Amino acid sequence: DGNEIYSQRKINLLRKNGRIVWLKGDIARLAAKTKGDAKRPSLSETKSAEEIMRRRLPFYEQAADIVIDIEGKSRKMVAEIVHEKIAKYL
């Protein structure tokens, strides 16, 4: 269920070791990308990607030091943006 970020204690542990970057994207597109990936838990009819994201959104917003909108960006471009943003903390 991806609930590792669902507690302040866990957020604090993550922050202690570095910066938290949220790669924010369109829910439907992200769900489609993970569909059929054996390493990812499957979504059931009762637990849609939208439902899961609505539940997680407040935690992601609270935890993120950096938020990057990935829509319309290549992986290379996203990596460059992450590098640029993280470099500001060094």
Q: pLDDT by residue (tens digit) across 48-88?
A: 777 877 888 888 888 899 999 999 999 999 999 999 999 99
Beta carbons of 10 and 16 less than 8 angstroms apart: no
Task: Tell me the pLDDT of the chain averaged across its residues.
Answer: 81
Please give the tally of structural domains in the chain. 1
Helix (H) or strand (E) holding 84: helix 75-87
**Residues 22/68, Cβ–Cβ less than 8 Å:** yes
Phi, psi of 72 (to 5 degrees): 75, 10
pLDDT value at 33 more than 90: no
CATH number at residue 40: 3.40.50.300
- The range of the structural domain enclosing residue 34 comes to 3-87
Q: Model's pTM, two decimal places?
A: 0.71
